[in-house]
Amino acid sequence: MDIQALVRELKMKTDSKIVFLIADGIGGLPVEPGGPTELEAAKTPNLDALAKAGVLGSMNPIAPGITPGSGPGHLGLFGYEPVKYLIGRGALEATGVGFKLGPKDVAIRCNFCTLDAAGNISDRRAGRIASEESGPLAIKLREVKIPGVEVFVEPVKEHRFCVIFRGEGLGGRVADTDPQKTGVPPLDPVAHDDASRKTAEVAKQFYAQAVKILAGQPKANGLTMRGFSAAPHIPSYEEVYGLKAAAIAVYPMYKGLAQLVGMEIVGEPNTLQEEIDVLEKEWKNYDFFFVHFKYTDSRGEDGNFAEKVKMIEQFDAIVPRVAALKPDVLVVTGDHSTPAALASHSWHPVPVLLSSPACRPDGCQKFGERETLCGGLGQFSAVYLMPLALAHAGKLGKFGA
Amino acid sequence: MDIQALVRELKMKTDSKIVFLIADGIGGLPVEPGGPTELEAAKTPNLDALAKAGVLGSMNPIAPGITPGSGPGHLGLFGYEPVKYLIGRGALEATGVGFKLGPKDVAIRCNFCTLDAAGNISDRRAGRIASEESGPLAIKLREVKIPGVEVFVEPVKEHRFCVIFRGEGLGGRVADTDPQKTGVPPLDPVAHDDASRKTAEVAKQFYAQAVKILAGQPKANGLTMRGFSAAPHIPSYEEVYGLKAAAIAVYPMYKGLAQLVGMEIVGEPNTLQEEIDVLEKEWKNYDFFFVHFKYTDSRGEDGNFAEKVKMIEQFDAIVPRVAALKPDVLVVTGDHSTPAALASHSWHPVPVLLSSPACRPDGCQKFGERETLCGGLGQFSAVYLMPLALAHAGKLGKFGA
């Protein structure tokens, strides 16, 4: 069943407000046998108080066993089936640097590379060129001019940069030009379908002009194109849920993802406290708020259990400011688990807390992975999180008579 | 996966008997922080004894967050996907007054309205005409004669009545004639597809004769048609499950819904005790019994926690009589939650109890929402209830070798 289609039919605009407080990668694992996870080890009096009065659950971002990247993880949170609404690597790269993709755009994930005198690739990553060197080169590539097409180039990091073509009739299905080995030249861009022929042509012209601009560079005298994608067609939060949604985040990637689903980016916060300042300031202007906290995931990816615990405690500390705004529904969760024990994203279910006057309390006493196992929301797929939030906010009509 | 199709392949006719004891809207919410729900507050020694020996679960009628009306709620209980087997408003209205819809029928939900001297609607609900006045007028409309078509008219309540056309070639897709405002005349009936053109013609003729019959009436001198629907095509219990099913209910709506899925309506009970008399009387004649108790929902919709508690206790009191018949599978649940705290149907999962010699007990000690969270059936969609009941009754063969 297409739950999003059903919700779209039943949605109602009301005055109630929903807040999603997202601690990226919050789910974890113990580092000692019989020991607590990061969330269980953290002192979280505010989250525990919400858990007591609210309802807990355990969320699979995509399906049992499947580890999501941040893109699919967030789409799932927002109620968009991650397998259905695929965000191509080019689009994700552009989103990641905060580039706002439009319907006429094709985004390409690119690598600087090193070409030898014969024009063959000798280093696929341009000798791990530093961002300080590659950034200006990427910006120089904005000199490329192609009739009928707007060209954008954005530095990402080290050898990575992003190219966006904007114009009529540009399909996104062009094969990668990276031959995946050294000693051969980059491949010509080849279209997978008729709709993308023009894009392949444009990419060829871009390449030809770019290598001229880069000629003589010691490391980055060539480039490969490693992921073409058209902007994904994602129906907006307004269309699907009838919500005027705001996104408050520090990192560009999450602003980009929120924009892809039609949220408005508000404020320019640099810290979690500043994010809550923005939330307070914008409270009257929206009926849905996505507030993103990155460092739980970062410390998890570092493999640093103790620091991830501290980040969770920092996160817990701002909960009273959010609760004071009296949202009708407050959801606290993450996009996936990032256990320090694994130093990477994992498939383990994500703990969810839903606080609302309309929830059915479940006897859970605190917010932690083990406690959620007897939570009232049970174990569920992330695509049901928005329907549950909307229901608790009184924003869904009854199905059938 | 189409679970109903799978069950249909695997079903076996056996002597075992299944009883569904349905307390409409049984699921609830606390009215005090940390307090019990209606079911948890009620003294239910009999249900608790069944829960101890049996297995509990928590059922979503349609999907997490989705609140069902009684129609979809019951279809889900019966194992028919509510989104797939939609019952149109006309069909539900007819069902609601106990009209037995057949495959050649189109049912129309109608309102009496008031027309001014120019033929424009001045009151869309005929001045909230009383049932005592409108009932006889609806019956008078049975005088309408249309060649080749049988016409039925059933009073519903106040300005509402139901019209059924029975004949060959009558599609159900005709647009409403209610213009949704006053100061304009009713719209002509317009078909949405070729298959419904004849129906639109018939509706036009019905309207023309009806306004002549109603001419001069002070309040109800006109009518609008507010929901055309063909009888839904629902494969019967016999076809799908191989079950000879009986329905025992007091209210016409539930008799109608049961009939839609091919159950036989038995008895004319007026109270719950009388329903159990019928159950005992008919025990030998069927292998599936649907017994419906309305007042848990009614008191919930009234917002009356204490009275809903009493209704649950009344419901609990008849359990020994049912258990004494020794059904192979006894299921106790509801079609949805109707918390007194919300005074309406809600999306909260419905507690389920399954009692059978073949069940795997789960350590639960009593029947209540919180207790079900650790129940052996877990949290599941209603469409799996019939498969579970059939399995426990030994009525499903193995899938594959």
| Domain CATH code at residue B385 | 3.40.720.10
pLDDT of residue B1: 86
Residues A114-153 have pLDDT tens digits of: 999 999 999 999 998 999 999 999 999 999 999 999 999 9
CB nearest to B89's CB, from A387, A391, A401: A401
> Region B95-108: what's the mean pLDDT?
90
Last residue of a domain, one of A229, A246, A277: A229
Asked whether residue A397 is domain-assigned, the answer is no
Contact between B20 and B342 under an 8 Å Cβ cutoff? The reply is no
- Cα(first)–Cα(last) distance of chain B, in Å? 19
Q: A158 is written with which tokens?
A: 């080290």
Overall number of domains in chain B: 2
pLDDT of residue B233: 86
Handedness of CA A349, A353, A354, A360 (dihedral sign): positive
**Residues A241 and A388 reside in one and the same domain:** yes
Confidence band for A52, pLDDT divided at 50, 70 and 90: very high
**Residues B267 and B353 reside in one and the same domain:** yes
Interface test with B, best of A352, A388, A392, A398 (most B CBs within 10 A): A398
Answer whether residue B294 shows pLDDT above 90: yes
Asked whether residue B397 is domain-assigned, the answer is no
Work out the number of other CB atoms within 10 angstroms of the CB of residue A216.
Answer: 6
Calpha distance A243→A386 (Å, rounded): 11
Instruction: Please indicate whether, in this complex, the C-beta atoms of A6 and B63 are within 8 angstroms of each other.
Output: yes
**Residues B60 and B15 reside in one and the same domain:** yes
Asked whether residue A401 is domain-assigned, the answer is no
CB nearest to B68's CB, from A1, A378, A399: A399
Answer whether residue A1 shows pLDDT above 90: no
Q: Which residues in chain A touch residue B342, judged by CB atoms under 8 angstroms apart? A: 358
Contact between A4 and A80 under an 8 Å Cβ cutoff? The reply is yes
Interface test with A, best of B26, B40, B66 (most A CBs within 10 A): B66
User: B167 to chain A nearest CA, in Å?
Assistant: 26
Last residue of a domain, one of B186, B214, B229: B229
Instruction: Please indicate whether, in this complex, the C-beta atoms of B63 and A1 are within 8 angstroms of each other.
Output: yes
Q: Which residues in chain A touch residue B374, judged by CB atoms under 8 angstroms apart? A: 374
Identify the residue with better confidence: A355 or A70: A355
Percentage of chain B beyond pLDDT 90 is: 89
Q: Which residues contact A192 (CB under 8 A, 6 or more apart)?
A: A173, A174, A175
Block residue for tokens 């029947």: B367
Q: Which residues contact A115 (CB under 8 A, 6 or more apart)?
A: A121, A122, A185, A211, A221, A222
pLDDT of residue A232: 86
pLDDT of residue A252: 83
Asked whether residue B148 is domain-assigned, the answer is yes
**Residues A220 and A274 reside in one and the same domain:** no
Confidence band for A93, pLDDT divided at 50, 70 and 90: confident
Instruction: Name the closest residue on chain A to residue B84, using Cα atoms.
Output: A1
Q: Which 8-state DSSP code applies to residue A15?
A: S
Residues B25-43 have pLDDT tens digits of: 999 999 998 899 999 999 9
CB nearest to B379's CB, from A363, A378, A388: A378
Contact between A208 and A232 under an 8 Å Cβ cutoff? The reply is no
pLDDT of residue B86: 85
Quick one: B368 exposed, middle or buried, by C-beta within 10 A (0-12, 13-18, 19+)? buried
pLDDT of residue B365: 96
Instruction: Name the closest residue on chain B to residue A365, using Cα atoms.
Output: B34
Instruction: Name the closest residue on chain B to residue A11, using Cα atoms.
Output: B66
Q: B276 is written with which tokens?
A: 């159990």
The pLDDT mean for chain A works out to: 95
Contact between B395 and B11 under an 8 Å Cβ cutoff? The reply is yes
pLDDT of residue A95: 85
Instruction: Name the closest residue on chain B to residue A387, using Cα atoms.
Output: B65
pTM of the model: 0.89
CB nearest to A400's CB, from B68, B81, B346: B68
Domain limits at B162? 92-229
Calpha distance B305→B338 (Å, rounded): 10
Answer whether residue A100 shows pLDDT above 90: no
Instruction: Please indicate whether, in this complex, the C-beta atoms of B66 and A10 are within 8 angstroms of each other.
Output: yes
Instruction: Name the closest residue on chain A to residue B61, using Cα atoms.
Output: A399
Residues A174-186 have pLDDT tens digits of: 999 999 999 999 9
**Residues A261 and A378 reside in one and the same domain:** yes
Calpha distance A277→A294 (Å, rounded): 17
Cβ contacts from A onto B, under 8 A: 96
Residues B126-179 have pLDDT tens digits of: 998 999 999 999 999 999 999 999 999 999 989 999 999 999 999 999 999 999
- Residue A396 Cα distances to A106, A349, B82, angstroms: 36, 26, 17
Residues A358-393 have pLDDT tens digits of: 999 999 999 999 999 999 999 999 999 999 999 999
Residues B108-129 have pLDDT tens digits of: 999 999 999 999 999 999 998 9
Contact between A367 and A44 under an 8 Å Cβ cutoff? The reply is yes
Asked whether residue B399 is domain-assigned, the answer is no
**Residues A248 and A388 reside in one and the same domain:** yes
Instruction: Please indicate whether, in this complex, the C-beta atoms of A53 and B33 are within 8 angstroms of each other.
Output: yes
**Residues A141 and A201 reside in one and the same domain:** yes
**Residues B69 and B120 reside in one and the same domain:** no
Q: Which residues in chain B touch residue A60, judged by CB atoms under 8 angstroms apart? A: none
Asked whether residue A400 is domain-assigned, the answer is no
Calpha distance A266→A254 (Å, rounded): 12
Calpha distance B239→B257 (Å, rounded): 17
Block residue for tokens 């997202």: A22
pLDDT of residue A351: 98
Residue B45: helix, strand or coil by DSSP? helix
Q: Which residues in chain A touch residue B62, judged by CB atoms under 8 angstroms apart? A: 6, 399
Confidence band for B97, pLDDT divided at 50, 70 and 90: confident
Whether ipTM tops 0.90, in short, is: no
Asked whether residue B346 is domain-assigned, the answer is yes
**Residues A248 and A217 reside in one and the same domain:** no
User: B82 to chain A nearest CA, in Å?
Assistant: 9
pLDDT of residue A128: 84
Asked whether residue B400 is domain-assigned, the answer is no
Last residue of a domain, one of B229, B262, B279: B229
pLDDT of residue B173: 93
> Region A147-174: what's the mean pLDDT?
95
**Residues A220 and A131 reside in one and the same domain:** yes
Q: A258 is written with which tokens?
A: 């929120």
**Residues A283 and A214 reside in one and the same domain:** no
Answer whether residue A401 shows pLDDT above 90: no
**Residues A189 and A216 reside in one and the same domain:** yes
pLDDT of residue A124: 93
